[in-house]
Amino acid sequence: MSATIQQIIKPREKDLGDGFIVRRILPFHNRKMVQSFILFDHFGPVNYAPGKGFDVRPHPHIGLATVTFLFDGAIEHKDSVGSDLVIRPGAVNWMTAGKGICHSERTPDAERKSGQTMHGIQTWVALPEGYEESEPSFVHHPAETLPAFDLGGASARVLAGTAFGYSSPVEFPWGIWYAGAEADADAKFVIPASEADERAIYMAYGSAIIDGQTIETGEMAIFEPGTDVEIHVDSGARFMLAGGQTMDSPRKLDWNFVASRKDRIEQAKSDWKASIEGKWKGTPFTLPEGEIEYIPLP
């Protein structure tokens, strides 16, 4: 490994059917998290013909925030706090699960009728210990509200936290560093050591050269702390920068649940079972309005 790269993570691919490929980067067997980022998935691109689409049935979360960012396509998000909204490229959907939320993700009716290409990034960030039991919430941030800037020739936006002197409107109670960028031509920039305690780059498309080493499509490079990192990305590249303040403590991840304590995850499992058995009336979890399906506990 180079003087500036601590680790390179290669994706594990899974076909969810109909050519819908998901590349999982985090968690990795010897690297569970990068800052608060505990899950990092790259899905697509997948082409849906007219009449086709995807349907992620309602399922629960605790102790995390889900962050959805699209390159192409549209997703309809519905949750148990009353949100019902379609996300499109460049925007950010930020759902805080806190003590418990249930949501679904489906192809919107218009795109199901016309067909679409789906391509994007979904991450989960662990909530700090003092916020694990916060009230669930959902916020949509349109693309035009996210600060845009030039990153050595690449067009970049800060998706959450503060990066390169720009701050996102996305609120998170921990120091987070998250940006997305694309290069119409070759781009070259430096990530100072002072940007974040932990820093990583994920190449969604194209490649990057760092300290003489090539980072290919689908790979994440995690940088050595305390070093300035010079990066050259090729024309047409799309990439994500993720990291931030070192997390307050380790986290446990089981199915859709994240917590600092194993017993809290076991409680969430029991709560989901009880909600199904109680038919969603007066139970810990409820279904989004209009939904009748759900994903059972594995």
CA distances from 286 to 71, 86, 280 (A): 31, 21, 5
- CA 279, 281, 287: angle at the middle one, nearest 5? 70
Going by C-alpha positions, the residue among 144, 194, 192, 149 that lies closest to residue 169 is 144
Question: What is residue 169's predicted lDDT score, i.e. its pLDDT?
Answer: 95
Say which residues have a Cβ less than 8 Å from residue 30's Cβ, sequence separation at least 6: none
Question: What is residue 14's predicted lDDT score, i.e. its pLDDT?
Answer: 86
In the numeric block, the tokens 């760092």 are attached to: 210
What is the tens place of the pLDDT at every residue in 237-253? 999 999 999 999 999 99
Going by C-alpha positions, the residue among 210, 240, 215, 242 that lies closest to residue 227 is 210
DSSP-assigned letter for residue 31: B
Question: What is residue 42's predicted lDDT score, i.e. its pLDDT?
Answer: 97
User: Average of pLDDT values for 262-272?
Assistant: 98
**Tokens read off for 122:** 């979904």
CA distances from 159 to 234, 251, 264 (A): 22, 23, 29
**Tokens read off for 273:** 């079972």
d(CA 145, CA 98): 25
Say which residues have a Cβ less than 8 Å from residue 124's Cβ, sequence separation at least 6: 37, 38, 39, 64, 65, 66, 67, 258
What is the tens place of the pLDDT at every residue in 123-146? 999 999 999 999 999 999 999 999
**Tokens read off for 181:** 């960028």
Q: What is the pTM of this model?
A: 0.95
What is the tens place of the pLDDT at every residue in 61-106? 999 999 999 999 999 999 999 999 999 999 999 999 999 999 999 9
Identity of residue 265? I
Burial letters 153-169, b for 16+ CB under 10 A, else e:
bbebbbbbbbbbeeebe
What is the tens place of the pLDDT at every residue in 168-207? 999 899 999 999 999 999 999 999 999 999 999 999 999 9
Going by C-alpha positions, the residue among 248, 280, 252, 263 that lies closest to residue 60 is 280
Domains and CATH numbers, the chain: 7-244 (2.60.120.10)
What is the tens place of the pLDDT at every residue in 27-45? 999 999 999 999 999 999 9
Question: What is residue 21's predicted lDDT score, i.e. its pLDDT?
Answer: 86
